[in-house]
Structure 1
Amino acid sequence: MNEPVSFFWNGRPVAGQAGESLAAALWRAGIRTTASTRKRHRPLGPSGSFIAGCLAGVDGRPNTRLDRVFLAEPVRATEQNTWPSPRFDLLRAARLLPARLVYGGFEHGAFAPRHPRLFTAWERLLAFLAGVGDATHVEEGPLPQGRRIAVDVLVVGGGVAGRTAANAAVAEGRSVALVSLSREPGSFARAVGADLPALDPRVDIFSRTEVFGIYRKGGLVAAAPFDPRQGALVFTPGRTVLALGRRSIPPLVRGNHLPGVVDAHFALALAADAGVALGRRVVVVGTGAETAIATRLKNAGANVVAVASVGKLQSILGRNAVTGAVLDRRIACDCLVHAGPWRADPGLGFQAMAEGLGQLGTSTDAGSSVSVIGAAATAPDSLLLPERLDADAYVCPCMDVTVGEVLHRIREGETDLEVLKRLTSCGMGPCQGFPCWEMLAAVVAKAAPQAAQAVPRPSHRAPRRAITVAQAAGLHGLVEPDR
């Protein structure tokens, strides 16, 4: 992975290494700001938590994840949501707007004209100002043709639990497919020192692939490779095992959106896998795993200057990037890694239920064909919120939803998560509700604890990121419609 490969970012040449992701190559080059929030155009960067910070245009293809494009040849990548150009972006003036002015989004504002023609023009203007890509891009060449795969057992996730389940199913004489986000299944578990069992060679591995939908109570599972030139996959499994593990939820403090704030997964992918320096001074916070994560980062060459409980974190400092953290004292740093609280993304399990209102229940609600195992099946960690919520902390930076906006709605008497989602657009961006709805629920629970006990969870609907329009078109004829 040391062979040099040059690419272009916003029209300027950048040196990278073959095999590393564009996100890692940009970070190595000192470029951390790669996107901006939807309404106020505040800076975002790759974080592992907020998907919008990783979206850019790559070779004319909009909304491409920089952490899922791996350098093999020169490419041209461009920051989106800028005008007239990334180098001279007048839209950054929106950072001067008071947060309250854009509560709910411009489309919910009092400035919207009432006349139908004027409203249409207004909507087009808003789509331009808040857009994150050119929808006129047309793929050249043939459509990536999908595949339909019948398998006895489908395992989603390649950590300890996923590998163990796959090996056990193969030992019983069953055909097994394993889908993993990583090039090597279980890379995060390996990075934190877990003892991974070797995968039985009879397990069919689909790496760098994401399951984006579970339909018909687990009877049909759809996935897409990161490479948009490869066709999507439709599995028809007899049984599906979700071993997705858990992710760290960002701290709900001021500055949590800044470039330089990353979760433990992304930090280890940069430092341990890609050999990229996280920064000159790194702070690690967490809910018990922070010391182990800090040790791993130090072994990978990171200069960790402080390790603390995330409950002690008061704020993250910086205007355009991280410059410090306030714990029991102010600490200068240019990277903050959070390792907890840990929560599993419930989206796929939610989809598998496919009945009633679709509200969350136990994995048995999906029937015997879908099960959740490993860390994803454990009780979620409680989110440690500061004693006093900071109105400027982001709940959903993709859609520019702050704590202040949520509290504003709560003061108006609204505490239902589904209604709050619609009023604020929280979780309706590329994150598709995770981790934003976890943070939204935590704010409601703290500000209105009695109401929060009866609040249902918003619905997670397929597709869950991953698939391109071309890949979806390539599935034509492979799935019979419900009648």
Structure 2
Amino acid sequence: MTKQHGQSSLTFTWNGSKISARPGDTVAAALLRAGITTLARSRKLHRPLGYSGSYPTGVLARVNGRPNVRLDQIAVSDGMVVEMQNTWPSPRFDLLKMAQLLPAKAVYGGFEHSEWMPQSGLAYKIAERIMANLAGVASPADEALNPQLIPGERIAVDTLVVGGGPAGIAEANRRAREGGTVALVTRGDETARFAKAMGVEVEELDSSVLLFTGMELFGVYREGRLLVAAPHDNKRGAVIFDPAHTVLATGRRSMPPMVRGNHVPGVMDAQAALQLAAVHGVKPGGRVVVVGTGAEKAVAERLRVLGVNVVHHGAVSDLTEIVGRKRVSMVRMKTDIACDTVVHAGPWRVDPSLGFQSSAEGLYQMLANPLPEWISVTGDAALGNDPIHALKNHHPDTLICPCMDVTAGELYCHIDEGETDPEVLKRLTSCGMGTCQGFPCWEHMLALLAARTDTSPDQYARPTHRAPRRSITVAQAAGLAALVDPDR
């Protein structure tokens, strides 16, 4: 660690190059401050991906020999070694980028086309290995890490509140005043990150509430009677909750614009942009365009207060294309606007994963039922979903699932042949089967399907949202084995 102008500075390496960071920086924030926007590559065509707030694949990298670490959730430590994944033979000299020269149709459905693959013998083994590399399989963790079981814990409470925004804090405080034991789980390092970044005053959390920060609730089991959360820090153990009542205060997330170029580095949601500017002092871009469904003006004004150069704000429905390859360079709206960043503030949608897991039943395809009486929803999560602006004919290169390279054109091929079951579309294309676990990708797939067939997205059953909805390490999972009796 060095001292610069009286302020501590950290140094880490990114693909072999030294990068400076400030204490408290996430790796993603430090890289963006250094002008590095491409942090990952898509699975099939190796398109550049970056910090978006929407697609976890865009921030997955190898950190100190451990693969698939989210760079927006891990703080920089001095001497940390960070490398891009999904490259060959090395991040600095990546021949897999040549896959971008392939037409999108060449990889519809993935690399598993039977006519491409030998059926047996040595040729099959060689082809399988080649396809695995092309498909972006991360190298295993370094053997020197020698992972050990990380003990977890099991906690019984009267009320578990999932979500640390203003609504979650208010509900936790109300329940605590009533005299019950209350726990609150939030993925943020502190409560109400988005509200505070917007300059909103937030009430203090009652000191009696058990607070679990930096932790993601990833699974709901046994009809919502048992819930499990894993911390982002892989050195901490996971936690099983036995609540008498659970309150989902998970809020809503902004959906990326469903236009060509929505995956390009420089496209990010309002939460990510405000977190960068308000917490890390990193401007999301030099020329920023904000689009949305009503909140764009407030977000633009707040970004300007934080020193960000916002050159335009307007309705997301006016946006027709985002132009750029390695970084956003322009947006097409009623007029073309030069910019390097697009921040979206709507349409706002609820991540349905936890509610689905608590109520769904079925075999081939799980179907959602009403929530059990011991689970309730509050705050923005109770407001429902904004409609997604979808057209009958999107440009075929519009990405619906960037991490798996699923385009509108690929989905149209199946829809136009009469396939309208979202579960089947998912299995045919791999849409939503990456680290996003179907959100926001299935929101876009359903909107696209409905627009193409002149129907409503609500008439289609969702694909199955299975646990875990976010990552948990094998060491953390092993630490829970003695805490849960088998469900016979």
Global fold match (TM > 0.5): yes
3-state SS of the aligned residue for 1:231?
Answer: coil
Corresponding position: 1:36 with 2:38: no
Q: What is the aligned partner in structure 2 of residue 8 from structure 1?
A: 13
Corresponding position: 1:358 with 2:366: yes
Contact 1:217 1:369 in 2 (8 A): no
Deviations 1:312-369 (A, max 9, x none): 00100112111111111111111110110000110011001143453234xxx23122
Equivalences for residues 201-216 of structure 1 within 5 A: 201-216=207-222
Deviation of residue 109 (structure 1)?
5.1
Output the amino acid matched with 1:305: V
3-state SS of the aligned residue for 2:432?
Answer: coil
CA distance in 2, matches of 1:450, 1:427: 21
Contact 1:253 1:316 in 2 (8 A): yes
Equivalences for residues 446-457 of structure 1 within 5 A: 446-450=451-455, 454-457=459-462
Q: What is the aligned partner in structure 2 of residue 318 from structure 1?
A: 324
Contact 1:349 1:372 in 2 (8 A): no
- Structure 1 residues 108 and 306: alpha-carbon distance in aligned structure 2, compared to 1, 3 A threshold: same
Corresponding position: 1:76 with 2:81: yes
Contact 1:286 1:308 in 2 (8 A): yes
Equivalences for residues 24-423 of structure 1 within 5 A: 24-108=29-113, 110-115=115-120, 118-138=123-143, 139-140=145-146, 142-356=148-362, 358-361=366-369, 365-386=370-391, 388-423=393-428
Contact 2:426 2:432 in 1 (8 A): yes
Deviation of residue 11 (structure 1)?
0.8
Q: What is the aligned partner in structure 1 of residue 3 from structure 2?
A: none
- Structure 1 residues 473 and 293: alpha-carbon distance in aligned structure 2, compared to 1, 3 A threshold: same
3-state SS of the aligned residue for 1:392?
Answer: coil
What is the TM-score normalised by the length of structure 2? 0.95
How many equivalent residue pairs? 480
CA distance in 2, matches of 1:164, 1:453: 31
- Structure 1 residues 301 and 233: alpha-carbon distance in aligned structure 2, compared to 1, 3 A threshold: same
Deviations 1:351-408 (A, max 9, x none): 01143453234xxx23122112111121200001256411111100110001111111
Contact 1:216 1:354 in 2 (8 A): no
Deviation of residue 126 (structure 1)?
1.2
CA distance in 2, matches of 1:13, 1:440: 40
Output the amino acid matched with 2:36: I
Q: Calculate the aligned-residue CA RMSD, in Å.
A: 1.6
3-state SS of the aligned residue for 1:443?
Answer: helix
Output the amino acid matched with 1:398: C
3-state SS of the aligned residue for 1:366?
Answer: coil
Contact 1:102 1:109 in 2 (8 A): no
What is the TM-score normalised by the length of structure 1? 0.96
Contact 1:215 1:354 in 2 (8 A): no
Deviation of residue 141 (structure 1)?
5.7
Contact 2:392 2:448 in 1 (8 A): no
CA distance in 1, matches of 2:90, 2:471: 27
- Structure 1 residues 109 and 53: alpha-carbon distance in aligned structure 2, compared to 1, 3 A threshold: farther
Deviations 1:206-246 (A, max 9, x none): 00110010101111110011110001111111111110001
Output the amino acid matched with 2:367: Q
Deviation of residue 119 (structure 1)?
3.2
What are the ranges of 5 or more consecutive residues in structure 1 without an aligned counterpart?
none
Deviations 1:111-146 (A, max 9, x none): 122236533432222112212421254433642211
CA distance in 2, matches of 1:148, 1:108: 45
3-state SS of the aligned residue for 2:482?
Answer: coil
Contact 1:160 1:195 in 2 (8 A): no
What are the ranges of 5 or more consecutive residues in structure 2 without an aligned counterpart?
1-5
